[in-house]
Amino acid sequence: MARRGSTREPAVDPEMMVPILADTLGPLGGPVRRRAARGLQELGAVDRAVYSAVATTPTPSLDEPLRRLSNAANNSRLWLAIAAGLAVAGGGRGRRAAVRGTVAIGATSALVNLAVKSVWARRRPDRAGTGVPRQRHVRMPASTSFPSGHAASGFAFAAAIGQDQPWLGLALRFLAAAVAYSRVHTGVHYPGDAVAGALIGEGTGQAVAGLMDRLPSARRSSKTGHSEQYVPPDAENAEGAPG
Give pTM, 2 decimals: 0.78
Residue 119, pLDDT score: 86
Q: What pLDDT was estimated at residue 186? A: 97
More confident site: 3 or 167: 167
Q: Quickly state the pLDDT bin for 14 (edges 50, 70, 90).
A: very low
- Give the pLDDT of residue 219: 53
pLDDT at 1 over 50: no
Question: Would you say 97 and 161 are in contact if contact means Cβ atoms under 8 Å apart?
Answer: yes
Over the range 101-125, which residues count as b (16 or more CB within 10 Å of their CB) and which as e?
A: bbbbbebbbebbeeebbeebbbbbb
When pLDDT is averaged across residues 134-159 and rounded to a whole number, the result is 96
**From the CB of residue 35, how many other CB atoms can be counted at a distance below 10 Å?**
14
Instruction: Say if CB 154 and CB 201 are below 8 A apart.
Output: yes
